[in-house]
Structure 1
Amino acid sequence: MHINNSLLLLAAVGASNVAGRATHRHRHADLHHKARNVGEIVHATIDGKLVSWINTYDGSNEGGEYPAAAPAPAAEPSSSPEAEVKPATYETEEDQSSAPTSAMSYPSAPAPTESSSSDESGESDGSDDSESEDSDESEDSDESEGSSSDDSGASNDADVVSTYTPFCKAANKRATVAEIAYVGNVGSKWGCNQMLISEDIADKYDYKIKVVGQNKEPWKVVCTNKIGPTGKIDGWYSGNHAVEFMLEPGATQYIAVDKNSQGICAAAPGDSIPVDEFGGYASTWFEFDFANESNDGWSGADISIIQAEAAGMKAQGMKTCHAGICSTVFDGPAGTVVDNAFDYAARWLDGIGLNIVPGPCELELIVGYSE
């Protein structure tokens, strides 16, 4: 390998920054071209642009002097307006004029300049595209604002649905199949994958939660998605909710949930849910996973007091059951009883809770549970 070839290639690579973007094979594909003589004009195609400069290096390095700067190359416009990333390729031609140079000079990295017509054309195209995209986004934003005045992403849960209403579509919120296990269905408008419904239409929905109160006073109930309105794993932070309601003593409330939804319900006495120092709901949780597409349509549920214990707060009694299998937390004579449920000590364990075969299912959730 000739050192002048290496330096010329590195100079071209440095000018285009192609080395960091091309594949390993392409970065090394042109290291073995024949040597260039002093005075030869070297051409290189860099990012789709043909550039050239005069070789001033003869391959020697006597005297220990540092390289002198090579003249800046003159650019020739590319036939294509796009700057496609390509490895540098070379052509040579003999320069008939004498080019006196120092035997100790190296070429510096050339800084190719593109023709103004090419630049202006490219910038104009990009600007038009950008303006078009901005216009589309603005129109989408206007449409969104026209359909809803809620910017937080939380649903308006003032009314319980009393006639069958389809869920919103969630396709545009999904990323890849591999991510569905974490993102799942959060609704095209965040939170619309959950609805409060009346008991007389509950049979029209495949996946639902029947909230039953053993409470002696009004309780606040909040249900949310694991993934928050901005796509982060913060759906259970205060202010994020898909549905919320007050459960009167002994009352029952149905919640319809769309398939492939993962979330929690938190409940506590009074008109608010306690939160930890970070703003996360720190009461007992009911965790649900309906028809998970990344798990062949299986569903699951459990009761968890991990957040409450981590925050040093009281865990409320709660129980969920399906097909005779239950997950339960309640206050016993000797302290909190945790049966097939998660406490802080079991936070890393698997296999706890309910595993439900694919198909429609109704989960019963008892809040304020005691024995």
Structure 2
Amino acid sequence: MHISNSMLLMTALTAGSAIARLHGHDRRHAHPKDAVELNVDVEQPAVTAAPEKRGVGAEVVATIDGQLVSWINEWSGQQSSESSPETESTAAPTTTATPTAAATTSEAAAVSSVSATPVASSSSSSSSSNWADYPADGDYTTTGFGASTASKRVGSLDWDYIGNVGNPWGSNIIQVSEDSASGYKHVLRFENDNSKAWTVVMWNSYGPSGGLNGFWSPNKALSFTVEPNESVFVAIDDDSQGGWGAAEGEDLPTNYVGEYASTWGEFDMSNSQNDGYSGWDVSCIIAELANMDIAGMQICNHAGEKCSSITKGAGATVNAYTSADQGKNDKAVAQSAGPVRLVVNLGWSS
């Protein structure tokens, strides 16, 4: 199997998951074509030797949503030294139609109980802090963020939307103190109730080169360690789409083509083309396809509601994605416009 086709498949399986579902599209995935059609249900090879590589400038051909598309591979596997993604071209299928930016009926019903402005309160696991509060006047701080980048569509597919990736790249995702967290619009609290430290790597879906490769090593918008019985707070700027991988120990595992292959958390914060909606979910698709360890993870709002979770080994899932859920569009949790306060439990078990 050519690596460019493998990269395309795994990219399409995961890219823009929360954003795609909030846009009201089916979560469709690419079926790469080289000489023959590749069946996505076939078990992926275990990590062994590096496969044949197709270089930068080579043509990639795939059937996506039943349509044959092609583009030039611009991903070399190396992180770009450019600070601004606007200076780079985007490696994406060249389709042009613009999809509807509204949530589906089922998703709208799922979030009908969530008000546009959630009630300020504290997480039950952090009742002594006010990190989950927010400015009543809606005047959120942007201290520490880089410049915002303009959003744009680069095609008609679910993942063909580039929101704010920060300038320099990744500066839309920053670590903040517990005391300052309440001033930001979107805040995540990462908790580790385990006996060992966990590593978290965060990314934008679109990488520094402008291609759909933000979740490929060595790309990192933010990386940190969560020690046992400690918490780390992260703020995310408006119109940001991306995710994170988390694993016990010092490093995140990667699959045989270099994609982060731990359990993922995925987010879409105040999407500008979807009336400010936000969304989140847990996914183990990449780890499962690569036959690698599936760690537990849970993401809930600060009130302990609107949860997405996977237990170790994917024994139980709630509003989360496994390889069996490819193509479904009803797993991610959605929230209408307003501040977001999430608690992420690493190594979670029910």
Q: TM-score, normalised by structure 1?
A: 0.54
Partner of 1:203, secondary structure, is helix
The structure-2 alpha-carbon separation of the partners of 1:169 and 1:338, relative to structure 1 and needing over 3 Å to count, comes to same
1:238-249 mapped onto 2 (5 Å cutoff): 238-249=217-228
Name the structure 1 match of 2:248.
269
Measure how far apart 1:176 and its partner are: 5.0
Any stretches of 5+ residues in structure 2 without a counterpart? 1-79, 85-140
Report if the CA contact (8 A) 2:206-2:212 is conserved.
yes
State the structure with bigger RCO (CA 8 A, min sep 6), 1 or 2. 2
Partner of 2:321, secondary structure, is coil
Partner of 2:273, secondary structure, is helix
Partner of 1:307, secondary structure, is helix
Name the structure 2 match of 1:52.
none
Distance 1:153 1:243 in 2: 15
Name the structure 1 match of 2:209.
230
Distance 2:272 2:306 in 1: 23
Matched, 1:321 2:300: yes
Name the structure 2 match of 1:168.
146
Q: Give the letter for the 1:241 counterpart.
A: K
Q: 1:283 aligns with which of 241, 244, 262?
A: 262
Measure how far apart 1:318 and its partner are: 0.1
Matched, 1:363 2:293: no
Q: TM-score, normalised by structure 2?
A: 0.57
Name the structure 2 match of 1:45.
none
Partner of 1:224, secondary structure, is strand
Name the structure 2 match of 1:331.
312
Q: 1:251 aligns with which of 211, 226, 230?
A: 230
Name the structure 2 match of 1:221.
200
Distance 1:283 1:309 in 2: 9
Q: CA RMSD in A?
A: 2.3
Any stretches of 5+ residues in structure 1 without a counterpart? 1-149, 155-162
Larger Rg computed on CA atoms: 1
Q: Give 1 or 2: higher helix fraction.
A: 1
Measure how far apart 1:331 and its partner are: 3.1
- Alpha-carbon deviations, 1:193-227, whole Å to 9, x = none? 01000100001100111111122201111111000
Distance 2:223 2:308 in 1: 23
- Alpha-carbon deviations, 1:234-259, whole Å to 9, x = none? 10011101110111011100000001
Name the structure 2 match of 1:108.
none
Distance 1:254 1:178 in 2: 34
Report % sequence identity: 37
Distance 2:332 2:232 in 1: 22
Which 4+ residue blocks in structure 1 deviate beyond 6 angstroms? 177-181
Q: Give the letter for the 2:266 counterpart.
A: E
1:66-77 mapped onto 2 (5 Å cutoff): none
